[in-house]
Amino acid sequence: MKNVKPKKIGILTAGGDCPGLNAVIRAVVKIATTKHGIEVVGFKDGYDGLIKDEYITLGNREASGILTIGGTILGTSNIANPYKYAVKRDGKVIFKDVSKKAIQTYKKHKLDALIAVGGDGTLTIASKLMKDGLKIVGVPKTIDNDLSGTTLTFGFDSAVTTATEAIDKLHSTAQSHHRVMIVEVMGRYAGWIALASGMAGGGDVILIPEIPYRMEKIREKLRERHKAGKRFSIIVVAEGAKPVGGEMTVHKIVEASTDKVRLGGVAYRLADDIEKLTGIETRATILGHVQRGGTPTAFDRILATRYGVEAMNLVLEKKFGRMVALKGNTMTNVPIAVAIGKLRVVPVNSPLVLSLKAMGVSFGD
């Protein structure tokens, strides 16, 4: 039975959207249908589609022309957890275990495998469904680049490119008005986007969650620049950055979500503190979801396509419970458990951090 070819597989995209998702779908569909005659079912809105049995059949027509399109043609959800599904009862949000519905949908369609494209939340759910008997292959997706087991996640390069372009544009207005311009980028609890876009965009101060900052150190850097005749400064801050001994800035709490905390707003907090400490006019820009949208970069299109191809290889080889991964420039795979074991955060002595510090960039420490 080991050499029996799969007849039907499913695919879903869950969690936050990002550029490159459609490239994965395209690669999977083209290989499955054109080369192997395998039927592909795409579940709508992440695990919600698996729970409610809402799907579309994916063929060459559906996969055509989607490579350059951002987002996902299947839709997504970051709150549809089969094991903790939010429902309203008497005006209150309660959570129910509806995983049996998801399992029934999988069995109803007689799937030989399910490809789950997502980040740590998506793959954590996938690991639970595997224990309940589903055959799953994972594909790493997040702009935050915080999944363990892989060198890069697709979506990250596109987000960094968007953030860098925004920083470039803010340089001119900062110079013209002699201001401090603060750019807040996404990343949740990891500082990869801030680090990469700050380096590419020439940030003078880069603040990341992994290195708590001190306001006096930021003030020292700004005064140093002013003494050198540089009458403007660019600060790139990750949404999860926090002061020494302080907490991250929480924008709101979403009760229906399995990850209730929504970070955001640290840039405004910093702007107020800097003006009070230095008297320098300071403006804050929060990029927010613009980093998730738009056309994927060429790099992300290539990476996502490679991931889709490798995911199909794992399905054909019946290597389930594994996530495709990039090591250096080599495509490989790791157990899904490795990917979700812990977040991949920025090492404080990483080459990028050390290079930036050597160039005089301040991390507020």
Pair 124, 214 in one domain: no
Question: pLDDT, tens digit, for every residue of 208-237?
Answer: 999 999 999 999 999 999 899 899 999 999
In a domain? residue 146: yes
- Return the HEC string of 214-242: CHHHHHHHHHHHHHCCCCCEEEEEECCCC
Question: Is the residue at 347 inside a domain?
Answer: no
Q: How far apart are CA 208 and CA 80, in angstroms?
A: 29
How many angstroms separate the first and last alpha carbons of the chain? 59
**Are 12 and 148 part of one and the same domain?**
yes
Q: Is 86 in the same domain as 58?
A: yes
The answer to whether residue 1 scores a pLDDT higher than 50 is no
The string of pLDDT tens digits covering residues 133-164 is 999 999 999 999 999 999 999 999 999 999 99
Domain assignment of residue 98, yes or no: yes
Residue type, 198: G
Instruction: Output the DSSP codes for 1-52.
Output: -TTPPP-EEEEEE-SS--TTHHHHHHHHHIIIIIIH--EEEEETTTHHHHHH
pLDDT at 259: 67
Q: Are residues 309 and 243 in the same domain?
A: no
Mean pLDDT lowest among 39-48, 61-70, 222-231? 222-231
Q: Are 221 and 314 in a shared domain? A: no
Domain edge (last residue) among 272, 292, 312: 292
Reading the block at residue 63, the tokens are 């996969």
| Residue 364 resides in a domain | no
352 lies in some domain: no
Q: Is the pLDDT of residue 4 over 90?
A: no
User: Same domain, yes or no, for 141 and 20?
Assistant: yes
Same domain flag for 264 and 305 = no
Which residues belong to the active site? 144
In a domain, 354, yes or no: no
Q: Are both 213 and 281 inside the same structural domain?
A: yes
Q: Do the domain assignments include residue 40?
A: yes
d(CA 15, CA 139): 12
Does 89 fall in a domain?
yes
Segment 155-206, tens digit of pLDDT: 999 999 999 999 999 988 888 888 999 999 999 999 999 999 999 999 999 9
Number of domains in the chain: 2
Indicate if 282 and 321 belong to the same structural domain. Answer: no
Least confident of 61-65, 85-89, 119-123: 85-89
- Residue 256 lies in domain: 160-292
CATH of the domain at 56: 3.40.50.450
This prediction has a pTM of 0.93
Q: Which CATH number covers residue 269?
A: 3.40.50.460
149/164 same-domain check: no
Shared-domain flag, residues 272 and 232: yes
pLDDT tens per residue across span 112-135:
999 999 999 999 999 999 999 999
